[in-house]
Every structure is written in C-alpha cells, then in structure tokens.
Amino acid sequence: MAKAKALIIILSGNDNPVKVKLGLNVAWRTKSSGAFEDVKLIFFGPGEDFIAKTDDKEILEAYEQVLNNNIVPQACVAVADGYGVSQILIDKKVELVHAGQAIAQIMADGYQPLTF
C-alpha cells in the first residue's frame, strides 16, 4: 500500500504561534518517522512574517529539525515582499516561490494539504 504525501501549509502567525509550532513538529516528525512518503512545507501569509521574526526558542528548534530532516521550506515571494521579510526568509533557507502555482503543482503531484 502506497503512503500518502503531505503538504504542510502554515498560515498562522502571531495570532496562534501554537499552530505554527504544531505544523513544524508534524512536518519533521512525520518525515523522520516515515509516516508519509514525503513532506513539503509552505509558509503563507502571516506564517511567513512570523517565522521570519520569531525569537521563540521552541519554534526555532522545531524549524531547525525541519531543515535537519531535509525539508526545504517554501514561502510566497509576493507576501514576503509585502511584509518586507524576503531576505530574512532567504537567510533562513526558505525558498521563495509563487505560492499559488507551487501549491497547485504540489497537489497535482499527489500531496494532501494539511493547514496550520
């Protein structure tokens, strides 16, 4: 039986940092455990601003685990530009993409979206 592939979309930000932490933990834990065939991660909207600016130690540790598990985070270039955080995201190893197109392609490749 084939395993599902997950697309984690983090939309939450300062309004709900617990959801950001949960999304990050689900991403790296399911990737490292093999629960999903593959995991992709996209920050979108307030999630982009939050991950760029947070100093929350637990969230930053979870983000490091994402990177350590070979998940390449993506974020919307237009939103990042709007928040003024593009360079910060790039410095944090986030790939800036056109999110609508990226999400459509990832879903066309069989990934199931999970939003946080």
Q: Where are the domains of the chain?
A: 5-115
Region class of 34: left (phi > 0), else alpha (psi between -120 and 50), else beta: left
Q: Over the chain (116 residues), what is each successive 10-residue block's mean pLDDT?
A: 92 97 98 96 98 98 98 98 98 97 98 98
pLDDT for position 99: 95
**Alpha-carbon gap, residue 27 to 70, rounded angstroms:** 11
CATH of 5-115, picked from 3.30.70.270, 3.40.1260.10, 3.40.50.300, 3.40.50.970, is 3.40.1260.10
Q: How far apart are CA 28 and CA 39, in angstroms?
A: 8
* pLDDT number for residue 10: 98
Q: How far apart are CA 17 and CA 20, in angstroms?
A: 5
Q: How far apart are CA 21 and CA 12, in angstroms?
A: 10
